[in-house]
Amino acid sequence: MSSVLFDVPGPKARTRNMFLNVITAVVVAAIIGFILYRFNESGQFTAKKWEIFTFPRVQQTFLEAIGATLKAFGVAAVASLVLGVLLAFGRLAQSKWLSLPCYWFTELFRAVPLLILMMIMYYGLPSAGVEGITPFIAVVVGLTLYNGSVLAEVFRAGIESLPKGQSEAGLAIGMTRGQVLRGILLPQAVRAMLPVIIAQLVVIMKDTALGFLITYNEILYYATFLGSQGQYGSPLVPALMVAAVVYVGLCLILSGVAKVVESKMSSRVKAVKAKTKGIQVG
């Protein structure tokens, strides 16, 4: 048995791969063990450094920071998806007056680092006379411009990967190009590119941490604040460990929700195909 891309490994290859996997696991475990050992030797697990997390006020404020992170993520995720769809439609437009500006907009904001976008919004615009730019607005706008441009390329690639016969069939029955994009091509592209879209949403979730550099009170900002409390031994490492666990948990929840959505979408498509096949047979 063979695949187009590679041959199925034989007994010797499987034994070699298993040996390499075991060695890799041992090396990774040793590295993690060494890091934990050094943390323990430096007193990072002492009760004094973790005492601050037992205070109800600290726990409440940490929950508020998580809420601020989720708020920025939710608004930026929805805005990025909408902007991505609009830019993708613009890139696919037949008019050069529309496709070229969308192309340069996408390329520009994909190339500018996200942190620079946030700093321009928060520090640059007020110096130019633009008032009312809060850290939340700066974080959301920066995330939207960058990730919307990335998602535009994802949607465009997904749409262009579909068979051309589908769009030609839609145009043949009298649908406009916009109706074909919205009603036929985009739903299929979203289903096909859903793993990539979810991965980009996870990136948006993690990139909210950059907001701490412009004083947005999210998880990392509050964690660094707790880590600077000298009366509790400056528990920076414990605070960052707690923040890392929270970020991992949020990303796992997001991935779990995405899997549920993907499963429901797949089951709905299968049901429609089965119904269509039954009608054809009947």
| Stretch 220-234: mean pLDDT | 87
Nearest to 152 by CA among 208, 210, 196: 196
In the chain, the number of structural domains is 1
The rounded mean pLDDT for the chain is 83
Residue 118 has pLDDT above 90, yes or no: yes
Give, in order, the Cα–Cα distances in Å from 15 to each of 3, 10, 11, 20, 21: 20, 9, 6, 9, 10
Q: What pTM, to 2 d.p., does this model score?
A: 0.79
* Residue 233 counted as domain residue: no
* Residue 49 counted as domain residue: no
Q: CATH number for the domain including 108?
A: 1.10.3720.10
* Residue 28 counted as domain residue: no
Residues 6+ apart with CB under 8 A from 96: none
Reduced to 3 states, what is the DSSP secondary structure of residue 122?
A: helix
Residues 6+ apart with CB under 8 A from 162: 185, 188, 189, 192
Q: Quick count: other Cβ atoms within 10 Å of Cβ 55?
A: 11
Q: Which amino acid is at 89?
A: F
List, for residues 140-179, the tens digit of each pLDDT value: 999 999 999 999 998 888 877 776 766 667 767 777 766 7
Adjacent-strand bridge partners of 7: 2
DSSP letter at 177 equals: H
Residue 159's domain spans which residues? 69-218
* Residue 123 counted as domain residue: yes
* Residue 169 counted as domain residue: yes
Residue 57 has pLDDT above 80, yes or no: yes
* Residue 17 counted as domain residue: no
Decide: 198 and 254 in contact? Cβ < 8 Å: yes
* Residue 281 counted as domain residue: no
Decide: 136 and 216 in contact? Cβ < 8 Å: yes
Q: Which amino acid is at 128?
A: A
Nearest to 216 by CA among 76, 118, 147, 126: 118
Give, in order, the Cα–Cα distances in Å from 133 to each of 124, 139, 145, 205, 279: 10, 10, 16, 21, 57
* Residue 51 counted as domain residue: no
User: By percentage, how much of the chain surpasses pLDDT 90?
Assistant: 39
**Degrees to nearest 5, angle at CA 209 with 103 and 225:** 155
